[in-house]
Structure 1
Amino acid sequence: MGAATVAREIRSLTEGPHVHRNLSTPQLVETAIARGEASLASNGALVALTGARTGRSPRDKFTVEDEQTRERVDWGKVNQPFPSEKFEALLARVVRHMAERDLYVMDLYASADTGYQLPITVICEYAWHALFVKQLFVRPELKELAQHAAEFTVIAAPEFEAVPERDGTKSGTFILADFTRKVVLIGGTKYAGEMKKSVFGIMNYLLPARDVFPMHCSANIGAQGDTALFFGLSGTGKTTLSADPARRLIGDDEHGWSPQGVFNFEGGCYAKCVDLSEEKEPQIYHAIRFGSVLENVVIDAKTGEPDYTDIRYTENTRAAYPIEFIANAVIPGVGGHPKNVLFLAADAFGVLPPIARLTPEQAMYHFLSGYTAKLAGTEAGLGSEPVPEFSACFGSPFLPLAPKVYAEMLGRRLREHNAQCWLVNTGWSGGAFGVGQRMSLKHTRSIVNAALDGRLAQVAYVDEEAFGLSIPTSCPDVPSDLLYPRNSWADKREYDAQAQLLAQKFEENFRKFDAPENIRAAGLRARR
């Protein structure tokens, strides 16, 4: 199937009486309810359930291997190769499946910076999926739609199940990216996050060649115009900590760092909802209203009110909403070069300090390591216990290229703009998971605010022994004992053992990277 044939096949899905293109938010909400796809909560949000798949399905994600990708993509567990001819055959079957259904098509952009925008068209089998992408990506002005020409097309067919023996997939679910045909094919899953992250993967593939560093991070701007970046995997606090009433939000999850500054890839936010409350996260709480989409959130049958504490479907409950629903959002989502870069980790060992100041070499080491603890529900197949996880660049599932490509870009940007890096533990203190306590959001906010406004630059620092991390001896509104993690453990010998164990895990993980000796040694400074 040549490029022209593929274009005709896709065009057939965007034309005709069964195609509903660029519907308004009220139209999509009304249609989703009328079709029985979703219901309406008392706060006006559209509520949808995703069935068996309540998170991403990484083992079902593939990249088409061909002349363009063969030498560029970092093949392995994350980037699994898929035969081009198998993709072609599966695409044809999906097109036939979609042609028999009402379709909801959205023309959108990835990137708030017009200099780096990627026009995309998303073809959805569900109206609520169309609303999801409409709120998550950058929405063109009405006058721009006539000139919109997609460079990539995403086809979401949740009711089409693959046959592994025939189609070459591992299950009935598939997420396939073809960078030559410029098509992403998604089937067998209702989880809307697959569409969002597939576009992120496209940007991670395309932008390094344009001297743009793609980042899995949130970003905001202070009153003095200072930009801050928050790196971290799902559940580490990117969305929560960047949604600060005292700072303006650029974006909550995906950004680029160009020679001109930082820009959001998206036009919306995708926030975790578990235990969400007006008191703890007022901005996110009030952003969930008409036009928002709630995924797998339990709704009270009598009142229609969301119950964010009920995780009967999954812990990975989510809310998608336009970024303008955050009162102090930056629109368009662009900012200057960052002054501070924060790496967030939910440390299940309870070993890392609440905050540590990193040298550029340590920043590179911890960026490549990308340590956190996966929590149940963010991916299919995880159990009820958190799992210590190293994810290169705090986003390895979304990186088509080798981690060193992104790490080198980070190092270059840090040196060019003299940005200060910090390692922040939003996980456990006083003991490992099950014994210690999760870091207080109040304390974490105080620590982060002190780093961003320069107060932590005025205090003394001490080095801890396991990693040689530089820890502040004091921080406003935070108990000093909390800052040095060993002091918060009842059994100091048990802490020492856990710290040594985690340090060994870091070392074992880092052996796979082709990193310069000064970067490699940065994580071992205390034991050289």
Structure 2
Amino acid sequence: MLEFGIKSKKSGLTESGIKQVKEAWWNLDPSQLTEIALQNREGTLSDTGALMCDTGQFTGRSPKDRFIVRDSKTENAVWWGDINIPIPPDSFDRLYAKMLGYLADKKVYVRDAYAGADKTHRIKLRVINTVAWHNLFCFNMFIRPERYQLETFVPNFTIINCPGFLADPETDGTRQENFSVIDLTRRIILIGGTGYSGEMKKGIFSVLNFLLPLEEGVFPMHCSANMGIKDRDTAIFFGLSGTGKTTLSADPERLLIGDDEHGWTMRNVFNFEGGCYAKTVGLSHEKEPEIFNAIKFGAILENTRFLPESREVDYDNVEVTENTRVSYPISYIPNAVEPSIGGIPKNIFFLTCDAFGVMPPIQRLSTAQAMYHFVSGYTSKVAGTEDGVKEPTPVFSACFGAPFMPLHPAEYAKLLGRKLEENHTNVWLINTGWTGGPYGVGSRIKLKYTRAMISAALSGILDNVGYRTHSLFGAEIPTSCPGVPAEILSPRETWKNDQAFYQMANKLVLKFHKNFDQFRGNTGADILLGEPKVNEQYQKA
């Protein structure tokens, strides 16, 4: 076995069960990995120096092919089902043995890194890749140790990622040839059959979402976070795709803590990652200057295409996928803080895009309401995108990140509730969707109004205005907000038709109820107190 680079003196590949590879390249820097990737024809350079690569057949995660080993550690802890799919230990054993044999004549790239900016709660991660650009992705996305730390590094979790290795579903217990298998007892993730780099990032996120609540009492969150430049007040933004999470948290007047994964301890909020993994479809300097300017040497573009006869990226080109991405170290963002740690959050924002047009643009939630909406994780897709669709389609993703949450959503909601009570944190539900009617009738709430409401909440202005209670959702609606017309704050007033408004609102409330039925058996009365109520006066028979 030939080995090169900065290798730990205390831990080698044999600790991961790997006894033989052709060559092992340890902890190479971005210039070395980029050069190798180009030599291997894994990608090409854009005009800004970013490495452009394709992920192959899979241009996103494959949630139906992500498994957790079901053993004594996970049997009674994991919320098993369509999201957390069990696989027996012997299937893991077979895959593991086959992958080790597959690696025997391969060149591998090894990366030692941390997941977790808080030294008290981080895991020490070793990633073993057969593709150079995947190893560069891990350099970007995880936290980079100092050289002296690499020399004595001993991992406590390992990823082995071999896109060229295919499982045999008949004998290996997988659904298809591609797979991601997490063994929380042995602390190993096996990934094969897919070139999508996000499987590594989200695999470690799932690991932390299991370990941190159970073993360390840390509340893990699928969110972005920033803090004030002057007061250092921390704010957290939860939201599913299309709700504006990235746009609204990327505030040039505030410091970026992180854009996707965080933990909330007794003393701080900390980023799990050392980089950003941003969508690039439709990207421009005018829309997202920080992300646009971060696409330079060391960054990796995924599944994008060039403009004709150039190396300039065409961000509107979706011939491969709409899920085009870029990864880069968080230091590429000028207003990012390192280490990526902030204080206890003063404000939390749940972002939703309500295409039914009935949710107020801002509501202040009680603890019970916050827990309920956290478990629900609501947003909506617009109507009219498919034949026969006559109304908006609701989308619910528990904890605003269901695919990555191994525990029952109520367990995370209870952690949130305790944090809110202990720290008196404000929780705001922000609707970035429609007002004056549903999609196709009403209009999208203007971004300038949403920014004004968030700014007023962050500055404390909304602590000193009047409130009224929403008749269905039960939350508090401010009666005034600087920079926002008073009628915008009340969706009922923008509709101009009480009966039509309440009938549509009742439809949405009933969809909340139906979605929540799957959680009721494991959910306490403290959370159910936050459930919205139907307005019987306008309920159709």
TM-score, normalised on structure 1? 0.91
Q: Distance in 2 between matches of 1:444 and 1:286?
A: 25
The letter of the residue matching 1:217 is: C
Give the conservation status (yes or no) of the 8 Å contact 2:506–2:535. no
Report what 2:530 is aligned to: 522
Report what 2:43 is aligned to: 38
Percentage of matched positions with identical amino acids = 50
Deviation of the 1:194 alpha carbon: 0.9
Asked if 1:276 corresponds to 2:283, the answer is yes
Deviation of the 1:80 alpha carbon: 0.9
- Aligned residue runs from structure 1 range 71-150, under 5 A: 71-150=76-155
Asked if 1:163 corresponds to 2:171, the answer is no
Give the conservation status (yes or no) of the 8 Å contact 1:345–1:371. yes
Report what 2:456 is aligned to: 450
212-221 vs 468-477, greater mean Cα deviation: 468-477
Q: Distance in 2 between matches of 1:192 and 1:396?
A: 19
**Per the alignment, in what secondary structure is the counterpart of residue 337 of structure 2?**
coil
Deviation of the 1:374 alpha carbon: 6.6
Q: Distance in 1 between matches of 2:437 and 2:277?
A: 31
- 2:28 is aligned, of 23, 27, 33, to 23
Change (3 A) 1:372 1:82: same
**What is the root-mean-square deviation in Å for CA atoms of aligned residues?**
2.5
- 2:271 is aligned, of 256, 264, 268, to 264
Q: Distance in 2 between matches of 1:103 and 1:327?
A: 33
Change (3 A) 1:104 1:349: farther
Task: Name stretches of at least 5 consecutive residues in structure 1 with no aligned partner.
Answer: 1-5, 377-382
**Per the alignment, in what secondary structure is the counterpart of residue 506 of structure 2?**
helix
Deviation of the 1:488 alpha carbon: 4.1
Asked if 1:177 corresponds to 2:182, the answer is yes
Deviation of the 1:130 alpha carbon: 0.8
Report Cα offsets for 1:415-456 as digits up to 9, x if no partner. Answer: 111100001123344444455554443332222222111122
Asked if 1:425 corresponds to 2:450, the answer is no
**Per the alignment, in what secondary structure is the counterpart of residue 356 of structure 2?**
coil
Give the conservation status (yes or no) of the 8 Å contact 2:22–2:104. no
The letter of the residue matching 2:130 is: E
Report what 1:330 is aligned to: 337
Deviation of the 1:128 alpha carbon: 1.1
Deviation of the 1:360 alpha carbon: 1.3
Give the conservation status (yes or no) of the 8 Å contact 1:235–1:272. no
Asked if 1:311 corresponds to 2:314, the answer is no
Report what 2:8 is aligned to: none
Q: Distance in 1 between matches of 2:180 and 2:479?
A: 47
Q: Distance in 2 between matches of 1:431 and 1:34?
A: 56
Deviation of the 1:521 alpha carbon: 2.7
**Per the alignment, in what secondary structure is the counterpart of residue 60 of structure 2?**
coil
Deviation of the 1:52 alpha carbon: 2.7
Deviation of the 1:139 alpha carbon: 0.4
- 2:379 is aligned, of 372, 387, 396, to 372
Q: Distance in 2 between matches of 1:517 and 1:78?
A: 25
Report what 2:243 is aligned to: 236
Give the conservation status (yes or no) of the 8 Å contact 2:235–2:345. yes
Q: Distance in 2 between matches of 1:387 and 1:141?
A: 48
The letter of the residue matching 1:456 is: L
**Per the alignment, in what secondary structure is the counterpart of residue 147 of structure 1?**
coil
The letter of the residue matching 2:432 is: T
211-220 vs 98-107, greater mean Cα deviation: 98-107
Change (3 A) 1:430 1:274: farther
Report what 2:405 is aligned to: 399
Greater Rg by CA: 2
The letter of the residue matching 1:504 is: L
406-415 vs 301-310, greater mean Cα deviation: 301-310
Give the conservation status (yes or no) of the 8 Å contact 1:9–1:95. no
Q: Distance in 1 between matches of 2:304 and 2:435?
A: 29
- 2:59 is aligned, of 50, 54, 59, to 54
Change (3 A) 1:431 1:155: farther
The letter of the residue matching 1:20 is: W
Q: Distance in 1 between matches of 2:68 and 2:129?
A: 21
Q: Distance in 2 between matches of 1:375 and 1:75?
A: 31
Deviation of the 1:51 alpha carbon: 2.7
**Per the alignment, in what secondary structure is the counterpart of residue 476 of structure 1?**
coil
Change (3 A) 1:445 1:180: same
**Per the alignment, in what secondary structure is the counterpart of residue 120 of structure 2?**
helix
Deviation of the 1:328 alpha carbon: 1.3
Deviation of the 1:472 alpha carbon: 2.5
Report what 1:380 is aligned to: none
Report what 2:224 is aligned to: 218
- Aligned residue runs from structure 1 range 454-465, under 5 A: 454-465=460-471
